[in-house]
Amino acid sequence: MAGFRDLSTAPLDLPVIPYPAVTVAVDLGDGLIVDDVHGRQQRGGVVFGLVPDGVRVRGRNIDCLQIRLSPVLAHAVLGASLESGGEMVALDALWGRDAARTHERLRAAASWPERFAIAEAALARAHEAGRAVDPEVAHAWRRVEGSRGQVRVESLAAEVGWSRKRLWARFRSQIGLTPKRAARLVRFDHAAHRLAAGHSAGSVAVESGYADQSHLHRDVMAFTGATPTAVSAAPWLAVDDVAWAVRGRASSGL
């Protein structure tokens, strides 16, 4: 979890970069608007999948809580896999009345630590009531993530003792992407953060497992519609090392 507050006078308009986690954004003020290329618009609490389809965050005087959930946990916590990995869904459509109650408590909280504690408790309740992914699917995801997307996905079925068809179907229904596309996303994410850290596209391509710089360029364009140079300057990538310095634990407000 990370807290974000925009103190600039200019209106905010940022693309959401695909990321190997399901993201929950909760507006703690009244200025956050999330929309996509299809004209859909959400306010309040919004959930979007691993590969958002042209999702942008807009508004002024933004004050929001952002939560990243491993897709393995998101399946239980949200009660949905966000099939295809790209849907944008209102949090109250998944959590019902508990979303509204949690939202009210978050807005009334006096500090970021209090907000993190409220959100963590809500996540824990939902996880306890939810249905876990298959152990085989969880194993496959951990292998994809742990290898930074460079695992041979054809071998995953053999590792878990399933047929390729069964693993692909179960993985897609529970994670939201096929294993192959999930591996591409994880590899892209590693490359995008290396670009944002100032490394050259050529060196990033080599260390991230791309055939060459052109291959990296095509993948970045496929996920974001932007060039590697443009992605390297994405503000949300630039603050990741601060906002998400310790994975899996709450961060300070920014």
The rounded average pLDDT for each run of 10 residues, N- to C-terminus, in the chain (254 residues) is 84 88 90 84 89 86 91 89 71 92 95 96 94 95 95 91 94 93 96 92 94 95 91 81 61 49
Name, in order, each residue with C-beta under 8 angstroms of 202's C-beta and a sequence gap of 6 or more.
213
Confidence at residue 250, expressed as pLDDT on a 0 to 100 scale: 47
Residues 14 and 57: beta-carbon distance below 8 Å: yes
Residue for token pair 């958002």: 52
Among candidates 68, 61, 62, 91, which has minimal Cα distance to 79? Answer: 91
Beta strands in the chain (DSSP E): 2-5, 12-15, 22-27, 33-35, 41-42, 45-48, 56-59, 63-69, 88-90
Model pLDDT, residue 81: 63
| AA identity, residue 87 | E
Q: What global pTM score does this model have?
A: 0.90
Q: What pLDDT is stored for residue 19 in this prediction?
A: 92
Pick from 10, 164, 123, 137: nearest CA to 72: 137
